[in-house]
C-alpha cells in the first residue's frame, strides 16, 4: 500500500487528540422517552429511537460496526429504513460469508417505557427479517447471550448487562460522568445522557472516517485501470479462442494485491480508532482527576470484533 494512504490516517489521528480535548460534553440534553436496541451480527451496532420510531443516533459497538457506519447517516430515519441500510451495507462489505443462507442475529433492548421496549423489540425483529430477505438471506434473531464475565460484572454492580453497557457508553461521551453516578441514573436519564454524549464521539469518528474513505478510494483507483485492461484482454482472447490462463492468473494476482492493500488499510484504521478511543478515555480520566475511573477499554467491545 502506498505510504500516502497511511499518512492520511496518521494526520487525521493527530487531529483527534486536539478534538477530544476541545469537545464540550456538558450541554444539557433534551429529555425524552427513548429505546436503545443493540444488533450484533457481527458487526455490532446500537440504535436509539424515540416514540415515533425515528432514529435519534446510531453508533458502532465494535470495529466491524465502525466499518458499516462509515457511509451511513441514520439519524432522523425510521427504524425500518435504518435497519435496511445497516443490513445492505453489512452484506456489501462482505461481513457475511458468501455461502451463508441463515444469519444469527443477537439483539437486546432497553427503555424507560415497557411498552416502547416491547414495541421496538418486535419491530427490530420484523425489520431485520425483511432486510435479510431482501438480500436473499434468512435471519435467526434471539436475545443477546452475554458472557459470564459480563453477567458477573453486572451482578456485582446490581444492574443488567445492557444497562451496564449503556453506563460505559455514557461515560465515553461525557467526560465529567463517573460510573457510580451513571449506575444510579434511571433508564430515562441514562439514555438521554448517552444521546447527549454521542455527538462528541461522532466528531472523533468523522475525523478518521474521512481519511479512511479517501485512502480506500486511492487504492481502488491505483488498481482499477490495470484490472479493466486485463479483463478486456481476456475478453479479446476468448473471442479469438486463445488461451487465457496466463491473463486470468495475472488478474487473480492483481486482485489479490488490491485486497491485501485494502485489508492492511482496514487494519490500520482499526488501530487508529482504537487509539483514538483510548486517548479520549485518558483525557476523560484526567478531567475527572483519576477518580472513579475503571478499565474502560471494553466500552465499545473492540476485542469482540478482531479482524
Residue count of the chain: 307
**Contacts with 210 (C-beta within 8 Å, 6 or more apart), sequence order:** 12
**Given this model, what pLDDT does residue 136 score?**
92
Helix (H) or strand (E) holding 30: none
- Helix %, strand %, coil % for the chain, to 5? 60, 10, 25
In this predicted structure, the answer to whether residue 87 has a pLDDT above a threshold of 80 is: yes
- Least confident residue range of 78-82, 162-166, 199-203: 199-203
Write down the pLDDT at residue 271: 75
Domains in the chain: boundaries? 1-27+167-307, 31-145
Give residue-wise pLDDT tens across range 19-59.
444 444 444 545 789 999 999 998 999 999 999 999 998 98
Say if residue 122's pLDDT is above 90: yes
Is residue 222 scored above 60 in pLDDT?
Answer: yes
Bridge partners, 60 (sequence order): 45
Q: What rounded mean pLDDT belongs to the chain?
A: 78
When pLDDT is cut at 50, 70 and 90, the band that residue 208 belongs to is low
The lowest-confidence range among 13-22, 63-72, 252-261 is 13-22
Q: What is the pLDDT of residues 2-12, one digit of tens each?
A: 445 445 444 54
Band of residue 123 on the pLDDT scale cut at 50, 70, 90 = very high
What mean pLDDT comes out for the span 184-196?
A: 88
* Rounded mean pLDDT, 204-208: 58
- Tell me if 36 sits within 8 A of 61, measured CB to CB: no
Q: Residue 207: what pLDDT?
A: 58
Residue 301 falls in which region: left (phi positive, over 0), alpha (psi -120 to 50) or beta: left
Cβ atoms 61, 46 nearer than 8 A: yes
Amino acid at each position: 500500500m502506498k505510504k500516502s494512504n497511511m499518512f492520511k490516517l496518521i494526520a487525521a489521528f493527530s487531529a483527534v487528540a486536539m478534538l477530544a480535548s476541545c469537545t464540550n460534553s456538558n450541554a444539557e440534553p433534551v429529555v425524552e422517552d427513548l429505546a436503545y436496541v443493540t444488533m450484533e451480527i457481527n458487526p455490532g451496532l446500537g440504535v436509539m429511537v424515540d416514540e415515533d420510531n425515528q432514529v435519534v443516533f446510531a453508533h458502532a459497538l465494535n470495529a466491524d460496526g465502525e466499518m458499516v457506519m462509515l457511509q451511513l447517516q441514520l439519524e432522523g430515519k425510521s427504524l425500518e429504513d435504518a435497519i435496511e441500510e445497516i443490513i445492505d451495507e453489512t452484506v456489501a462489505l462482505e461481513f457475511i460469508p458468501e455461502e451463508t443462507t441463515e444469519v444469527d442475529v443477537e439483539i437486546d433492548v432497553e427503555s424507560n417505557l415497557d411498552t416502547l421496549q416491547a414495541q421496538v423489540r418486535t419491530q427490530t425483529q420484523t425489520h431485520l427479517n425483511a432486510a435479510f430477505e431482501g438480500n436473499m438471506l434468512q435471519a435467526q434473531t434471539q436475545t443477546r447471550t452475554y458472557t459470564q464475565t459480563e453477567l458477573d460484572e453486572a451482578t456485582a454492580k446490581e444492574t443488567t448487562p445492557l444497562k451496564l453497557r449503556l453506563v460505559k457508553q455514557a461515560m465515553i461521551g461525557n467526560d465529567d460522568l463517573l460510573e457510580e453516578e451513571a449506575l444510579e441514573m434511571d433508564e430515562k436519564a441514562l439514555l438521554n445522557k448517552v444521546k447527549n454524549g454521542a455527538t462528541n464521539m461522532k466528531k472523533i469518528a468523522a475525523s478518521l472516517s474521512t481519511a479512511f474513505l479517501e485512502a480506500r478510494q486511492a487504492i481502488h483507483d491505483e488498481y482499477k485501470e490495470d484490472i479493466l485492461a486485463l479483463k478486456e484482454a481476456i475478453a479479446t482472447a476468448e473471442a479469438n479462442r486463445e488461451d487465457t490462463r496466463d491473463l486470468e492468473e495475472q488478474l487473480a494476482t492483481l486482485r489479490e494485491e488490491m485486497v491485501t492493500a485494502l485489508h492492511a488499510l482496514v487494519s490500520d484504521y482499526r488501530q487508529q480508532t482504537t487509539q483514538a478511543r483510548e486517548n479520549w478515555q485518558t483525557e476523560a480520566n484526567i478531567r475527572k482527576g483519576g477518580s472513579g475511573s475503571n478499565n474502560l477499554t471494553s466500552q465499545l467491545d473492540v476485542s469482540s470484533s478482531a479482524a
